[in-house]
Structure 1
Amino acid sequence: MTLTDDGLELSAPVNLRDMGGIPIAGGTLRDGLVIRADDLALADEASASRLVDGGLAAVIDLRSAGEFANTGRGPLGRMRVTYHHLPFMDAVDSSAQVPGSDLLDQSTFAAMYIRMYEAAAARIVTSLAVIATAPGATAFHCAAGQDRTGVLAASLLLALGAEHDAIVDDYARTGANSSAIMARLAPVMGPMMAALGIELDEAARASMRKEFSPEPMKGLLHHLSASYRDPLEPLRRAGLNDAIVAMLRERALG
């Protein structure tokens, strides 16, 4: 067992996957370009080394400043990868401030995803630029690899011309990992949730009572289709240009 200086156990990620194979405009997203994950700051040395040996060149950390302060960068911080801290929310309790979202009910997260996509558009654009230009694979992560990671994954796939069904299918794959995610994050997220008056055991029981729902991602995609002529419009307003999109598509199909 490997521990951080604060006594937190480092372990292999439980919601990590290469996004290769997803259908996009012109073909399928190639392996080895982009990896989505749960908290890589808690990755053990062996898992981190495997990622770097496999071609990892950049890490995008979507966690809040408070989460970063708890665990830092982990073993990857000592390895030859570039690091980009691009928080999509100010704090983990931000979802509680979005009408219609319930921290204990994943199926209600659509409003949170919409706010993230629109309010964090500049950071999404920066993330896409990192993926487009990194000299190897890019991994992006939040805590669970579900919500903030899911919004960035959807943004990337929209830029690559993926159909909505493919985006939802990728998002829904996290559902099979929910129990393992909760167990892995309990030592870190427990105190943060307790500060909001939520016992993590209660959150775990609530999640077990419900099936993982695709509705939040469907809600985000429906909103973008209904509100904009181009679903990338909020990102284009924040600086996404044709050159970045072209680089992404060239690398994704390469």
Structure 2
Amino acid sequence: MTTTIDIELSAPVNLRDLGGTPIAGGVLRDGLALRADDLSVITERDAGMLVDAGLAAVIDLRTHDEAALTGRGPLAGHPVAYHHLPLMESIRAGMSDGGTRVIEHVAMGEMYARMVEGAAAQLTTALGIIAFAPGATAFHCAAGRDRTGVLAAVLLLALGSEDDDIVADYARTHANMPAIMQRMRPTMGALMARLGFDLDAMAVSFPDQPMDISMHTMLARLRERHGDALAPLRAAGLDDGIMNRLWERALA
């Protein structure tokens, strides 16, 4: 894809370490897993700070079109492993369900559950990367809410976190949404316009309800259909070796 979009580098507005989240046997340590909004457009200064703090790997959950738009960004100039693991084929596919646009919290949760089922192999690979990376792993999509929230949720499930703690982490993004939308506008706004979506209109039309509804819905639907919310990942290769290594590193 070619583009004439002027990309303005900026500091992340939805970056946080999952450290401190309760897990089985204690709390997740700092410096293992970071979730973020788009890391491809961070400043050179922020890229250097992340690497200096121990960043060893980046998992990019964006679609191929999104990744082609901005590439890897400043982190490409640092010794950081890069893994592109798209959780959906396209933005258009992710934003609709049978022709109906997904702009409501329960519908978002339904979409998250389908994402876990449809991208179980990518999510399992991502957990393996986090388990065996020689330092911290950061994972991101565009906003750091939906695809990033799904990976954060399955990671915390694998570590034995309770639903309330998983939902609480997901819901922390709510306060950041105005800054996220502003940061995304030059890149995602242009891409979504090409696909027939108006990013600003979608933000206005999104219901003013607690975000936690979406994550509660995802967890409920997965258990209704599979019993174990991690069953799709187990079928895709999530084994005791990965789970044990994650737990050992999480509590180290």
Give the TM-score of the pair, scaled to structure 1. Answer: 0.93
- Alignment of 1:85 with 2:113, yes or no, is no
In the alignment, is the contact (CA less than 8 A) between 2:11 and 2:42 conserved in 1? yes
Task: For residue 99 of structure 1, report the CA deviation from its aligned partner.
Answer: 4.4
Task: For residue 6 of structure 1, report the CA deviation from its aligned partner.
Answer: 5.2
- Alignment of 1:163 with 2:145, yes or no, is no
- Alignment of 1:217 with 2:215, yes or no, is yes
Match of 1:244, as an amino acid? I
- Alignment of 1:120 with 2:119, yes or no, is yes
2:24 corresponds in structure 1 to 25
Match of 2:25, as an amino acid? G
| Farther off after superposition, 213-222 or 128-137 | 213-222
In the alignment, is the contact (CA less than 8 A) between 2:10 and 2:41 conserved in 1? yes
- Indicate the SS of the match to 2:164: helix
Q: Unaligned stretches of 5+ in structure 2?
A: none
Q: Unaligned stretches of 5+ in structure 1?
A: none
In the alignment, is the contact (CA less than 8 A) between 1:57 and 1:134 conserved in 2? yes
Q: Once the two structures are superposed, what CA deviation does each residue of 1:183-203 show, in whole Å capped at 9, x if it has no partner?
A: 000001112221232322212
In the alignment, is the contact (CA less than 8 A) between 1:99 and 1:111 conserved in 2? no
CA distance, structure 1, for counterparts of residue 166 and residue 17 of structure 2 = 14
CA distance, structure 2, for counterparts of residue 106 and residue 51 of structure 1 = 32
* Pick aligned residue for 2:235 from 225, 234, 237: 237
1:140 corresponds in structure 2 to 139
CA distance, structure 1, for counterparts of residue 226 and residue 70 of structure 2 = 38
- Alignment of 1:250 with 2:240, yes or no, is no
RMSD of aligned residue pairs (Cα, Å): 1.8
| Farther off after superposition, 104-113 or 72-81 | 104-113
1:74 corresponds in structure 2 to 73
Q: Residues 230 and 204 (structure 1 numbering): CA distance in 2 closer, same or farther, change over 3 Å? A: closer
CA distance, structure 2, for counterparts of residue 123 and residue 229 of structure 1 = 21
Q: Residues 177 and 210 (structure 1 numbering): CA distance in 2 closer, same or farther, change over 3 Å? A: same
CA distance, structure 1, for counterparts of residue 247 and residue 130 of structure 2 = 11
- Alignment of 1:7 with 2:2, yes or no, is no
CA distance, structure 1, for counterparts of residue 92 and residue 123 of structure 2 = 20
In the alignment, is the contact (CA less than 8 A) between 1:95 and 1:101 conserved in 2? no
1:182 corresponds in structure 2 to 181
In the alignment, is the contact (CA less than 8 A) between 2:5 and 2:186 conserved in 1? no
- Indicate the SS of the match to 1:35: strand
1:51 corresponds in structure 2 to 50
CA distance, structure 2, for counterparts of residue 99 and residue 251 of structure 1 = 41
In the alignment, is the contact (CA less than 8 A) between 1:64 and 1:91 conserved in 2? yes
- Alignment of 1:131 with 2:112, yes or no, is no
In the alignment, is the contact (CA less than 8 A) between 1:102 and 1:109 conserved in 2? no
Task: For residue 214 of structure 1, report the CA deviation from its aligned partner.
Answer: 1.1
Q: Once the two structures are superposed, what CA deviation does each residue of 1:129-149 show, in whole Å capped at 9, x if it has no partner?
A: 000000000000000000000
Q: Residues 100 and 134 (structure 1 numbering): CA distance in 2 closer, same or farther, change over 3 Å? A: same
Task: For residue 107 of structure 1, report the CA deviation from its aligned partner.
Answer: 4.7
Match of 2:172, as an amino acid? R
Task: For residue 227 of structure 1, report the CA deviation from its aligned partner.
Answer: 2.4
Task: For residue 92 of structure 1, report the CA deviation from its aligned partner.
Answer: 1.1
Give the TM-score of the pair, scaled to structure 2. Answer: 0.94
CA distance, structure 2, for counterparts of residue 183 and residue 17 of structure 1 = 18
CA distance, structure 2, for counterparts of residue 145 and residue 192 of structure 1 = 17
